[in-house]
Amino acid sequence: MSQTWPYSGARWWKFDFHTHTPASKDTGAWQAAIGTPSELTPQTWLLKYMAAEIDCVAVTDHNTGDWIDKIKVAYAEMKAEADAGTQCAGFRELHVFPGVEISVQGGIHLLAIFDPSATSQTIDGLLARVEYEGTRGDSDGVTREGASKVVERILAAGGLAIPAHVEGEKGLLQVKPGTHKCLLDATTVKQVLQESGLLALEWTAYTSPKPTVLDELKLRFASVVGSDCHSFRGAAVPGSRYTWIKMAQPSLEGLRLALLDGQEVSVKRSDESSGFTPFNTPEHFIESIEIRDARYMGRGRQADSLPLNPYFNAFIGGRGTGKSTIVHALRLAYRREKELSPSSEAGQTFSRFCKVAKSRNDEGGIQAETAICVRVQRDGTSHRLIWRHDGQGHAVEEWDTATGSFAPSTSQAVTAQRFPVRLFSQGQIAALAGDSQQALLKVIDDAADTQSQQTAFDEAKRAFLAARAQIRELDGKLQKSEALTLALQDVQRKLARFEGADHAVVLKNYQHTSRQSLELERQLDAAADLSARLKAFAAALLAEDLPQGLCDTGEDGEALSVVQALHAAITKARQEVENTAAALHECGRVLRNELEASPTFVRIGEAKAAYEKLKADLQQQGVSDPSEYGRLVQEKQQLETELKKLEALQTQQIELRDKAKALLEQVRSARRAISAQRSGFLQETLQGNPFVRIALIPYSRDAQGIERSLRELLGAADGRYVDDLYQEQEGGSPKGLLADLLVTVDLFEQPGAWDTAAFEQALLTQKKRLSNACRGQAEFGGWFNKFLKAEADKRPEFIDHILCWFPEDGLQVEYSRKGDGRDFQSIGQASAGQRAAAMLAFLLAHGNEPLVLDQPEDDLDNHLIYGLVVQQIRSNKLRRQLIVVTHNPNIVVNGDAELIHVLDFNHQCHVKQTGSLQDQAMRREVCQVMEGGEEAFERRYQRLGRDV
């Protein structure tokens, strides 16, 4: 693990709370080496902790601070060399916290830890004030002051007091064997634990039995651990035991606040954080936002640049300080302008921002020169998304490791798939919980990734509509069948006059042989056509050349051999097809010659000669139209050929009808798959969520929503045909097609359980009624029947679209009134704050892309904010980046923002302060800028810090 962390804000530091140097008399090996070449030096001691990748080390020798100044001097020299470029091998930054392990009256050991600026003199002064009477560096004495007083003295001196190895020897919380009772005097233990400045306990092992006194006092302390290293041998060595501490920069104040936060918030022990990866970042996150020459921001010599942390970032400030400008800038850079409805409040606000003000009083937040650059981390590579008002500078740049600079990316696409981000304003969040569920369904579809299911549904519909169009085309051709059949019958009656005479045998023989001749000729012509098609196909069998310069003849020789072999195979296949075509052509020629010499061909010739003779005889006999028979025979043959083609088309039509039925079933299956994907996502995402439950209702059961969808499909205006579609009746049941649909389904379904199959069957029944009405059957009222028939006549595909129609899914959204996972009620009964809380809980429950929330708390009650902040935001930032613009201090403070930007307005918007909550100046800003800031800190560090 590298200590390098290029991002601003709070981060995790590996902290060893308990270490010793040769200043402690019980470090046998080190004591024995004093005065020898093997004597341990401060530099060697430091390098051991550096090698263990420790970031912060508390030097806590027994009752002495003798080595603290030595270590600080040695580190300063090593740091100076590193800064000069001549660092020694193994050097890495290490923050030294001066401290001491004090032997206290009653046999207790206490760690006292001070700010890195403290010195050996600080420790000496403390030991004097607690009146330690033993040997410095040894544990042969104790303080004259009791444990409680020692804690007070440590705090008064500006340090932190931590009872050492509390469950072990000299530990405050040792228990009697086989019990949970304190080994030490319970009164003394309670006095120490109830000291207001005591924040943490050092447990050698987090699984150690806890005395009942902790539960009796209802106290919670941060659990920390150190190596307690006395030598560099054995188990207790640097890096063997440590504690992760989250701070902006190592300082005593940062440490104090982290200990106040407690476990899982800002403290994690090494022995209970298996798999913890503090420097893992999300796959996608925003590194910085740069705004130049906006109307109210970035108009100085330099652009306003706002670095971001990969985890939780907060933008705070009064109204009009530019907080929402940040969100607008992100929306432009990410090309997400179309995600806002132009008619919505959020859409109108964004539209006003995007205008260029031509005068001082005009609306608009940008200028002609405005430029936005958002630096994005994507799959481990930095990108820059550049937006300019004139559109000329729109670009995507990618970090080039070879040149150490940004260069234009090979792809300039900025899509949700390539650069994912979720942006929500308070208005959008409220809209998600509104009466219309389309916005929420869109969010669900994006999160559940239903695109493949939607695509399959659309493709199934297109295939069905195409098949139905082919059927209609065949229907038009097959309409000639009846006329051709009648014409054939007429010709056959005329021919019967000739065939009934003595010459019938000649005529019938000629008719038969003529059909034989035609069919044989057709067979030979078909073979010749196949030969020509094979020859044309062979000409198309060409291998594709590799792109110029793609492969090197030296390095890629094996790959080139494979390609050459493939080309040879293609060439061989082409030659074989050409040979086959030639063989088929020659075979046809030979067989044609054989046929012309065959007895069959002789009989055909004889029959034709006899027929010609018959015609001549008929003319001699005075037949007025001796050619009539020949024309009738030809006409009969032509009619029979056309009818044969129609028979093939009729077979094709039957196959197409079967295919269309199968395709319609595919449409139904694809539509079910969309519902299944949505439902599965909701179940997985919201399982156990204490704030919100969302269940999918396949096809919905909302009559008004289904009616709107059907009217849109049919093109029927609102207010028309209400008796036929849906009409609620005072004191009676609704009537109309949709009322029939829902009544039928009600017979199969139980409350809260949706019978999808029953609904689909009932829907199919109503679709058939509509289809029948389109064909002229009187299924509904006269005007509605007339309307449907006219639409079907005008648009032949009208019925097909009806068959493909399915109502949109519905959602059953419920919220927990107290956010405790109980007493769930319909969101329709919720207040605006409860609705917003439910939707915010849903947005925070899924996804790993950056989530940007613009003032999500405007409608939230404070008790909902506490719950959402503690349980949702804190867990969310472990997997995704959060960027929250807010007025509410609880979101910032209790949400434990890693990085905060305080915005202010002074002629233009600017960043007044950037930092974390561990910075005293930042805490002052939070209290000044945000009403209730002090209360938020009190809740975090007095209530939440103890309970979490």
> Which pLDDT value is given to residue 476?
75
Of 616-625, 663-672, 703-712, 763-772, give the lowest mean pLDDT range.
616-625
Q: Is 573 in the same domain as 706? A: no
**Chain centre to alpha carbon of residue 609:** 84
Q: Choose the most confident range, by mean pLDDT, from 318-332, 443-457, 624-638.
A: 443-457
* Whole-number Cα distances in Å, 276 to 1, 16, 267, 323, 377: 12, 17, 12, 33, 22
Mean pLDDT score of the chain: 88
Q: Is 693 in the same domain as 752? A: yes
> Which pLDDT value is given to residue 948?
33
> Which pLDDT value is given to residue 327?
92
> Which pLDDT value is given to residue 853?
92
Q: Which helix (H) or strand (E) holds 648?
A: helix 628-686
Strands in 594-731 per DSSP E: 692-697, 727-729
- Evaluate whether residue 823 is within a structural domain: no
Give the pLDDT band (50/70/90) at residue 923.
Answer: confident
> Is the pLDDT at 423 greater than 90, yes or no?
yes
Beta-carbon neighbour count of residue 209 at 10 Å? 12
- Evaluate whether residue 808 is within a structural domain: yes
Q: What is the pLDDT of residues 547-605, one digit of tens each?
A: 877 887 778 888 888 888 888 898 898 899 889 989 998 998 888 888 888 888 888 88
Q: How far apart are CA 21 and CA 45, in angstroms?
A: 8
Of 769, 789, 812, the residue at which a domain comes to its end is: 812
Q: Is 110 in the same domain as 191? A: yes
- Calculate mean pLDDT across residues 883-910: 87
Closest CA to 867 of 901, 916, 826, 833: 833
- Calculate mean pLDDT across residues 642-661: 81
- Calculate mean pLDDT across residues 460-474: 90
> Is the pLDDT at 500 greater than 70, yes or no?
no
Give the pLDDT band (50/70/90) at residue 17.
Answer: very high
Contacts of residue 458, Cβ cutoff 8 Å, sequence gap at least 6: none
> Which pLDDT value is given to residue 45?
97
> Is the pLDDT at 2 greater than 70, yes or no?
no
Higher pLDDT, 901 or 509: 901
Q: Is 242 in the same domain as 107? A: yes
Q: Which ranges in 13-114 belong to alpha helices (H)?
A: 28-33, 42-51, 68-83
Higher pLDDT, 166 or 731: 166
> Which pLDDT value is given to residue 274?
76
Q: Is 97 in the same domain as 35? A: yes
Q: Which long-range contacts (CB under 8 A, 24 or more apart) does 604-612 make?
A: 604/513, 604/514, 604/516, 604/517, 607/506, 607/509, 607/510, 607/512, 607/513, 607/514, 608/510, 608/513, 608/514, 610/506, 610/509, 610/510, 611/506, 611/507, 611/509, 611/510
Strands in 253-336 per DSSP E: 267-269, 284-292, 304-307, 312-316
> Is the pLDDT at 471 greater than 60, yes or no?
yes
Q: Which amino acid is at 914?
A: T
Q: How far apart are CA 286 and CA 374, in angstroms?
A: 7
Closest CA to 523 of 535, 512, 511, 515: 515
> Which pLDDT value is given to residue 831?
80
> Which pLDDT value is given to residue 502?
57
Q: Which of left, alpha, beta for 271 (phi over 0: left; psi -120 to 50: alpha)?
A: alpha
Give the DSSP letter string of 893-924: HTTT-SEEEEEEEESEEEEEEEE-TTSHHHHH
Torsion, Cα 415 421 426 429, to 10 degrees, reads 80
- Evaluate whether residue 353 is within a structural domain: no
Q: Is 644 in the same domain as 705? A: no
> Is the pLDDT at 41 greater than 90, yes or no?
yes
- Calculate mean pLDDT across residues 619-630: 56
Q: Which helix (H) or strand (E) holds 62?
A: strand 56-62
- Calculate mean pLDDT across residues 772-794: 94
Kindly state the DSSP code that residue 829 receives in the 8-state scheme: G
Of 770, 794, 812, the residue at which a domain comes to its end is: 812
Kindly state the DSSP code that residue 357 receives in the 8-state scheme: P
Q: How far apart are CA 137 and CA 62, in angstroms?
A: 5
> Is the pLDDT at 498 greater than 70, yes or no?
no
- Evaluate whether residue 416 is within a structural domain: no
Q: How far apart are CA 19 and CA 70, in angstroms?
A: 15
Q: How far apart are CA 848 and CA 234, in angstroms?
A: 43
Angle at 810 between CA 804 and CA 816, to 5 degrees: 165
- Evaluate whether residue 576 is within a structural domain: yes
Closest CA to 916 of 251, 105, 178, 201: 251
- Evaluate whether residue 790 is within a structural domain: yes
Under DSSP, is residue 276 helix (H, G, I), strand (E, B) or coil? coil
> Which pLDDT value is given to residue 616?
72
What number of helices (H) and strands (E) belong to the chain? Answer: 31, 26
Q: Which amino acid is at 352?
A: R
Kindly state the DSSP code that residue 542 receives in the 8-state scheme: -
CA-based radius of gyration for the chain: 43
In this prediction the pTM is 0.77
Q: Choose the most confident range, by mean pLDDT, from 326-330, 529-533, 690-694.
A: 326-330
- Which CATH number characterizes residue 53's domain? 3.20.20.140
Kindly state the DSSP code that residue 545 receives in the 8-state scheme: P
> Which pLDDT value is given to residue 597?
86
> Is the pLDDT at 864 greater than 90, yes or no?
no
> Is the pLDDT at 490 greater than 80, yes or no?
no
Q: Which domain holds residue 757?
A: 664-812
Q: Is 726 in the same domain as 630? A: no
Q: What is the pLDDT of residues 351-375, one digit of tens each?
A: 999 998 888 888 888 988 899 999 9
Beta-carbon neighbour count of residue 777 at 10 Å? 13
Q: Is 638 in the same domain as 675? A: no
Strands in 65-119 per DSSP E: 95-104, 108-113
Contacts of residue 622, Cβ cutoff 8 Å, sequence gap at least 6: none
Structural domain count of the chain: 3
Express as a percent the part of the chain with pLDDT over 70: 95
Higher pLDDT, 545 or 247: 247
Q: Which ranges in 277-419 belong to alpha helices (H)?
A: 323-333, 345-353
> Which pLDDT value is given to residue 315?
93
Q: Are 267 and 80 in contact (CB under 8 A)?
A: no
SS (H, E, C) 718-732: CCCCHHHHCEEECCE
Q: Is 637 in the same domain as 692? A: no
Residue 304, both tokens: 């306003």
Q: Is 221 in the same domain as 76? A: yes
Of 758, 777, 812, the residue at which a domain comes to its end is: 812
Q: Are 563 and 546 in contact (CB under 8 A)?
A: yes
Higher pLDDT, 535 or 478: 535
Q: Is 656 in the same domain as 685? A: no
Give the pLDDT band (50/70/90) at residue 918.
Answer: confident
> Which pLDDT value is given to residue 628?
67
- Evaluate whether residue 242 is within a structural domain: yes
Q: What is the pLDDT of residues 220-235, one digit of tens each?
A: 899 999 999 999 999 9
- Evaluate whether residue 331 is within a structural domain: no
Of 286-290, 487-491, 606-610, 680-684, give the lowest mean pLDDT range.
487-491
> Which pLDDT value is given to residue 627?
53
> Which pLDDT value is given to residue 162?
97
Q: How far apart are CA 878 and CA 12, in angstroms?
A: 13
> Is the pLDDT at 946 greater than 60, yes or no?
no
Torsions phi, psi for 270 (to 5 deg): -65, -30
Q: Is 539 in the same domain as 650? A: yes
